Structure 1
Amino acid sequence: MTELLLKYFRTKQQEVQSEKVYDTQCPFCSMQCKMQLIEQSIVSRKKYTTIGVDNPTSEGRICIKGMNAHQHALHQDRIKYPLLKVNGEFVRISWREALAVIKEKFTDIQVADGTNALAVYGSASITNEEAYLLGKFARVALTTRYIDYNGRLCMSAAATAANQTFGMDRGITNALTEVPTTRVIILAGTNIAECQPTIMPYFEKAKENGAYIIAIDPRETATTQIADLHLKVKPGMDAALANGLLKVIIEENLTDEQFIRDRATGFAEVKEYVLSQSLDEIAELTGVPKEQIETAAIKFASEETGMLFTARGVEQQIDGTAAVRNLLNVLIATGKIGKPSCGYGAITGQGNGQGAREHGQKADQLPGYRSIENEEHREYIASVWGINKEDIPRKGVSAFEMFKKIDEGEITGMLLMCSNPVVSNPNANFVKSALKKLKFLVAIDLFVSETAEYADLILPTSSYLEDEGTMTNLEGRVILREASRPCPGEVKHDWEIICEIAKVLGKGQYFPYKKAEDIFNELRIASKGGIADYYGITYDRIRKEKGILWPCPDETHGGTARLFEHSFAHPDGKAKMVVVSNSSQIPKEKPSEEYPLYLTTGRVVSHYLTGVQTRKSAALAARNFESYLEIHPETARKYQIENNRLVTVTSKRGSIVVRSKWSDKIRQDTVFVPFHWADSQNVNMLVGEDLDPFCKMPGFKVSAVKVVPN
């Protein structure tokens, strides 16, 4: 028996000719789980296995997306060399030729149409180094005011609300390790079980420890299943629901008066407004029974500790900023911020959604979360970049507004990096129409996405396995993605591409970097003294400490685990409460006789964003190979919708065709469609163009539609 076993293992050893281990982290959600890809060469084929690696945030866990991420990175459809569109077809060209074309076209556009005729559209999936560099490239190499990024469509409402209320925005004001010890949790508009599965154990542990969980969502989801109380709110009524909670808390004398007096402004006005409102009317408005509002309010206010988490369900609305601010009013009124096991978390969506919004690729922003309109901020960044303050352009417009500028002819050329706005933006047909008007579009991507199909030139970029750099996860923890796998073909890193374009445009002296760490060291200096201060963080420290929570002002500083312990970031040190009206001044689309149902959108566990990467993974695509419409059986019968049949969903903007899926877990006045699919299943073709006035977020979560059988 022993001889047979030895023979078996010797045979297996011979079959495994070599083994390589690549340290990396998941390219998908904001947990940024650490993992290793093990590549085994077995006879004439390769076998890949992904395992989780211990780290402070996900503690070695990975989800189904992370396990299969390598399938898209190794996919045969990866772009491996520059592609130029000639007579409607993409043909291979050299990098030298590609850069020459960019130089010619970009120069011609700016001579003919002005400096600001070129725009840059960035991403929240790229590294901090690349996000920083993209902002610098727009302002120094192109000298254009028009740069924004796809995070505008994701986290901007929560970021703006946090800045307005607290004076600064970091995804979670505490480390996740405080979640299990809190006594009550509000999960508002977040389906973390499907969007960030590896965060769930924190909440499950809290529940085991006796925490009371309140979920706010129009649907029953895998996340609401852990809740003790589910407030099944009408889509778009989150701000009004928060007023109901505030009314009960104030009337029951459950506010933290000392905290309000010492650390907040605006409470008197909020109190006067909410007490003037009828709880019965709020219940009618929100669709949440009065008794449930009372239970939630009393439970949250009565417990000694509590935490509030919001995500896209609350934020992706045209009053998303106001809705989040009103929920933060609840947090402040009860004094549950800046203390152990008390705080706020905006559950960041994209992999580097936090870091990508801190260092300069937003229209109004400079590195370190500085303002591009602040003269002192402009002076400091100009000194870091070695240019004159006056040469930094002023602020531009938001992501979607750039397509309006294209439509109007003000923007005639664009550099697009790692984003797919044809699928991700509202009124997708309008975005397609605008892109067709561009004189020149350069797309930097892994694949020929739905947007890259409209490009004149596509440049091949590196994947998460190949591109080293830092990311900032949902905690605000700066971590280092090691990436040692060689780039395939003629693929280059995003930062290399930016530097090479800058060089042919005659601005190479401002982009002299040889490796990602060089860029990070400049970013450290650029962020120094800013709200998002990374100055004390180095690659060596990250490797030793497994990530550091910003702000970290010097190399002796241990990072900041809990924000606002003694003061908020406004000049007076106080949080700013604000009245948010039930009868919003921002009119939302409401169901009508022609379009009788609310449409809301969201994610499924096996896909990510517009699906460009996850739909290239056979294991993930097999789990959800097409989109669907979730509809309540009673609603389905009313509109003669059979289960598991193709239906047409129509709004004022357009129509899509998806498969029906009966579910009694959704409100009868609401239907749900996930947003990971393109073309005839692109749900964003149904979403309107109206934007939140503060953060410019489209209203993805509230549209009026009709559904008919095909």
Structure 2
Amino acid sequence: MGTPTHCPYCALQCGMTLSRGGAETGGGTGKRGGAETGATVRVAPRDDVPANRGGLCQKGWTAAELLTAPDRLTAPMMRRSRDAPLEPCTWDEALDRVAAEASRLRALHGPDAVAVFGGGGLTNEKAYQLGKFARVALGTSQIDYNGRFCMSSAAAASGRAFGMDRGLPGPVTDLAASGAVLLAGGNVAETMPPFMRHLTEMRDGGGALIVVDPRRTATVRQADLHLQPVPGTDIALANGLLHLLIAEGLADEDYIAARTTGFGAVRTVVNAYWPDRVERITGVPVPRMREAVRLLARAGRAHVLTARGAEQHARGTDMVSAFINLALALGLPGRAGSGYGCLTGQGNGQGGREHGQKADQLPGYRRIDDPAARAHVAGVWGVDPETLPGPGSSAHELLSALGTAAGPKALLLFGSNPVVSAPGAAAVEERLGALDLLVVADFVPSETARRADVVLPAAQWAEESGTMTNLEGRVLRRRRAVPPPDGVRTDLEIIGALAGRLRAPGEWSTDPAEVFAELRRASAGGTADYSGITYERIEAEGGVFWPCPSRDHPGTPRPYLDRFPTPDGLARFVPAEHHGADEDVDAGYPVYLTTGRVLAQYQSGAQTRRVPALAEAAPGPFVELHPDLAARLGIEDGGQVRVESRRGTATVRARLTGAIRHDTVFMPFHWAGEGRANLLTNPALDPVSRMPEFKVCAVRLEPAAASPPHAPGA
């Protein structure tokens, strides 16, 4: 029979079945050690999950191998002194040390002396409990999570346009019936391959796929139209498309009048983005812009989608707003089978940002500075609202303040690897080293865990139960298929044990079902209302869409059909002006760098680099550059290259390709060491979302000395 569950990787949350059998080996299996010696966990795709309908990517097929990582953590580790190595210890020793140090530092420096950092891969239950732990057990305002580096710009732009942030405007299967899809800054053919089948089905039905990307990616190769802008110029491009839409009389004036407000101010702004000017700024030819506008306007049903390429900018919120403005002028949001959507990246990037591990939010997508929200959540938690802290620092600001005179002196980190994934990674590594106490809960010794004072071995995806919310806003069940190894605890057990030692008030269940029941009460009446969702309903219905305010409510697969959740029920146009990248190219740093993912790796690589088949498919970092640029710089395919920005230097192999702009290079960010892309990236922050500018900075390149012979493109 097997255990039905979902993939541990991206937000598509593909359905799969895990089963245990004999000692078979090969693709899609992982042999358990410890109590399950000799047993093999096998992966099979499920065809009853609409998101993937029987498909899996290479990461999904090999996901069971994560369960048998050779360096799996199975016992707590602790340093006996600052310079001592990590050594095994008992759980009581580790937890007592963490609680005692947290209490000491809070007494000396106040509750904000201890910070918490979470992850977008945590289940809803764990994300909820972690936010509660920070505010109630520690009393700290200093909590944020790595999803700030992923979807925060789209969340902020959606909130101010629609009054709510929820990934897609409907089930992912709606895309197949579209007449056109514009995808800005996403390479789904590599980052979530089963998603492509919905776009392929659309194209087979006569629809058109338009992709905005400075690279000719695997997704672009399957598109009908490629718009290839200079990195950082997406606002100008979106405004130029809207200018053409209005000029050619293709805007949906009836929809604009009936369902939106603020169009006049946006019309005034985009009047200045005439086609020739936009071509000069972006490099996108005017005929291609006209073709894109006409494909969208004549499609009947259409979608405008953004992903990290349009969001990870110091003006990412405005970039997304510019694309939302285009969608609104086309009359798409609030129409069945159409709309604007964000392609959430991390496995629980949607749910992870809804229930309290963001610096400014409480469960249910409530604002932490809203007195009514504080009163409601405090009532569920059994504490006085006045004891809850206010808003804290965003992820990069929190990490940058660690160990400073006014910043946190301790950090408890769950499910993240900022030594690899944070911008300006060398500076982040330095700040971690300045802490009095770094505690990391993980299932492998990630680059961040290796720098910790205390390491707590945590259960992973197939060893625990809970819920995840995918990119559609569909709440799904993750089911435990195998027990964790001896000596390993779940994050809920770790949080509960620390809360007990800190004598925190309230209930601290370690049972996911009980925690979810409390989450439902805490979210009731909020924007992300889960109060009508139960494990039983998820099981019976194959997932439930939020908001779902009561048990007899059907859930909301397509929000906005009748009205938008704004005070007047109208969607809002928001003007957005192009200002260019925070750091433009110049004589010293004449080339744009953009970053992203590759097919066989995921996020910081802490998981995928440990899977042999994935490590073989993508064995190390590289820089992708155009042959003409390489020729000017004396760089050979496969040779080693020094890539330098104002923040650091990385040394990687060269991969020459005509699929990228002459003025741009690309590096994936999955690897540690001297090839870390985030040694180079710009931590400049969006003023609204506090998103760093991962997607564009200025660099210079040169051949590295003594480059040994190597296979080209390796």
Amino acid at match of 2:543: G
Residue 551, structure 1, aligned to residue 544, structure 2? no
Say whether the 8 Å CA contact 2:279–2:286 is kept in structure 1: yes
Amino acid at match of 1:35: M
Amino acid at match of 1:633: P
- The Cα shift of 1:703 comes to 0.8
Which position in structure 2 is the counterpart of 1:27?
8
- Range moving further from structure 2, 238-247 or 399-408: 399-408
Residue 246, structure 1, aligned to residue 227, structure 2? no
Which position in structure 2 is the counterpart of 1:646?
640
Say whether the 8 Å CA contact 1:656–1:683 is kept in structure 2: yes
- The Cα shift of 1:567 comes to 1.0
Deviation digits for residues 296-351 of structure 1 (CA, Å, limit 9, x no counterpart):
11221232221011100000111111000000000001101111221122111100
Query: Which whole-Å CA distance do the structure 2 matches of 1:291 and 1:30 have between them?
Result: 35
**Partner residue of 1:97 out of 81, 93, 99:** 93
Amino acid at match of 1:383: G
Query: Which whole-Å CA distance do the structure 1 matches of 2:455 and 2:23 have between them?
Result: 35
Which position in structure 2 is the counterpart of 1:65?
59
Say whether the 8 Å CA contact 1:24–1:464 is kept in structure 2: no
- The Cα shift of 1:23 comes to 3.6
Residue 377, structure 1, aligned to residue 373, structure 2? yes
Q: Secondary structure at the match of 1:198?
A: helix
Residue 658, structure 1, aligned to residue 644, structure 2? no
Which position in structure 1 is the counterpart of 2:476?
479
Residue 493, structure 1, aligned to residue 490, structure 2? yes
Query: Which whole-Å CA distance do the structure 2 matches of 1:394 and 1:699 have between them?
Result: 26
Which position in structure 2 is the counterpart of 1:534?
530
Residue 568, structure 1, aligned to residue 564, structure 2? yes
**Partner residue of 2:622 out of 628, 634, 637:** 628
Amino acid at match of 1:643: D
- The Cα shift of 1:675 comes to 0.5
- Range moving further from structure 2, 276-285 or 562-571: 276-285
Amino acid at match of 2:42: T
Task: Report matched runs for 1:285-364 at 5 Å.
Answer: 285-364=281-360
Query: Which whole-Å CA distance do the structure 2 matches of 1:42 and 1:613 have between them?
Result: 23
Which position in structure 2 is the counterpart of 1:611?
605
Say whether the 8 Å CA contact 1:502–1:511 is kept in structure 2: no
**Partner residue of 1:271 out of 267, 289, 293:** 267
Say whether the 8 Å CA contact 1:28–1:66 is kept in structure 2: yes
Say whether the 8 Å CA contact 1:22–1:485 is kept in structure 2: no
Which position in structure 1 is the counterpart of 2:710?
none
Say whether the 8 Å CA contact 1:161–1:321 is kept in structure 2: yes
Query: Which whole-Å CA distance do the structure 1 matches of 2:457 and 2:143 have between them?
Result: 21
Which position in structure 2 is the counterpart of 1:51?
44
Query: Which whole-Å CA distance do the structure 1 matches of 2:614 and 2:5 have between them?
Result: 20
Which position in structure 1 is the counterpart of 2:18?
37
Query: Which whole-Å CA distance do the structure 1 matches of 2:11 and 2:249 have between them?
Result: 38
**Partner residue of 1:448 out of 445, 448, 455:** 445
Q: Secondary structure at the match of 1:478?
A: strand
- The Cα shift of 1:39 comes to 3.1
Which position in structure 2 is the counterpart of 1:174?
170
Task: Report matched runs for 1:100-499 at 5 Å.
Answer: 100-409=96-405, 410-499=407-496
Q: Secondary structure at the match of 2:42?
A: strand
Say whether the 8 Å CA contact 1:597–1:671 is kept in structure 2: yes
Q: Secondary structure at the match of 2:341?
A: strand
Q: Secondary structure at the match of 2:528?
A: coil
- The Cα shift of 1:48 comes to 4.4
- With the length of structure 2 as denominator, give the TM-score of the two structures: 0.95
Say whether the 8 Å CA contact 2:263–2:573 is kept in structure 1: yes
- The Cα shift of 1:429 comes to 0.8
Which position in structure 1 is the counterpart of 2:72?
78
Q: Secondary structure at the match of 1:303?
A: coil
- The Cα shift of 1:76 comes to 2.2
- With the length of structure 1 as denominator, give the TM-score of the two structures: 0.95
Query: Which whole-Å CA distance do the structure 1 matches of 2:311 and 2:506 have between them?
Result: 37
Amino acid at match of 2:625: I
Say whether the 8 Å CA contact 1:22–1:465 is kept in structure 2: no
- Range moving further from structure 2, 510-519 or 614-623: 510-519
- The Cα shift of 1:667 comes to 0.5
RMSD between aligned alpha carbons? 1.3
Q: Secondary structure at the match of 2:463?
A: coil
Amino acid at match of 1:640: G
Which position in structure 2 is the counterpart of 1:15?
none
Q: Secondary structure at the match of 2:22?
A: strand
- The Cα shift of 1:99 comes to 1.4
- The Cα shift of 1:125 comes to 0.4
Compared CA separation, residues 649 and 528, structure 1 to 2 (3 A): same
Say whether the 8 Å CA contact 1:26–1:33 is kept in structure 2: yes
Which position in structure 1 is the counterpart of 2:669?
675
- The Cα shift of 1:46 comes to 4.8
Amino acid at match of 1:27: P
Q: Secondary structure at the match of 1:170?
A: coil
Q: Secondary structure at the match of 1:458?
A: strand
Query: Which whole-Å CA distance do the structure 1 matches of 2:474 and 2:123 have between them?
Result: 13
Which position in structure 2 is the counterpart of 1:685?
679
Structure 2, unpaired ranges of 5+: 25-36, 705-714
Say whether the 8 Å CA contact 2:75–2:457 is kept in structure 1: yes
- Range moving further from structure 2, 268-277 or 474-483: 268-277
Amino acid at match of 2:15: K
- The Cα shift of 1:50 comes to 1.4
Say whether the 8 Å CA contact 1:466–1:484 is kept in structure 2: yes
Query: Which whole-Å CA distance do the structure 1 matches of 2:146 and 2:638 have between them?
Result: 33
Query: Which whole-Å CA distance do the structure 2 matches of 1:514 and 1:243 have between them?
Result: 50
Say whether the 8 Å CA contact 1:590–1:704 is kept in structure 2: yes
Query: Which whole-Å CA distance do the structure 2 matches of 1:239 and 1:514 have between them?
Result: 46
- The Cα shift of 1:295 comes to 1.4
Deviation digits for residues 358-393 of structure 1 (CA, Å, limit 9, x no counterpart):
000000000000000111111111111111111110
Query: Which whole-Å CA distance do the structure 2 matches of 1:185 and 1:333 have between them?
Result: 15
Q: Secondary structure at the match of 1:465?
A: helix
Query: Which whole-Å CA distance do the structure 2 matches of 1:242 and 1:76 have between them?
Result: 48
- Calculate percent identity across the aligned residue pairs: 43
Query: Which whole-Å CA distance do the structure 2 matches of 1:604 and 1:38 have between them?
Result: 29
Amino acid at match of 1:134: L
Amino acid at match of 1:254: L
Amino acid at match of 2:79: K
- Range moving further from structure 2, 171-180 or 366-375: 171-180
- The Cα shift of 1:565 comes to 0.7
Query: Which whole-Å CA distance do the structure 1 matches of 2:579 and 2:119 have between them?
Result: 35
Say whether the 8 Å CA contact 2:403–2:409 is kept in structure 1: no
Task: Report matched runs for 1:571-610 at 5 Å.
Answer: 571-583=567-579, 588-610=582-604
Say whether the 8 Å CA contact 2:18–2:481 is kept in structure 1: no
Deviation digits for residues 97-124 of structure 1 (CA, Å, limit 9, x no counterpart):
1111112101110011111111000000
Q: Secondary structure at the match of 1:38?
A: strand
How many residue pairs align between the two structures?
688
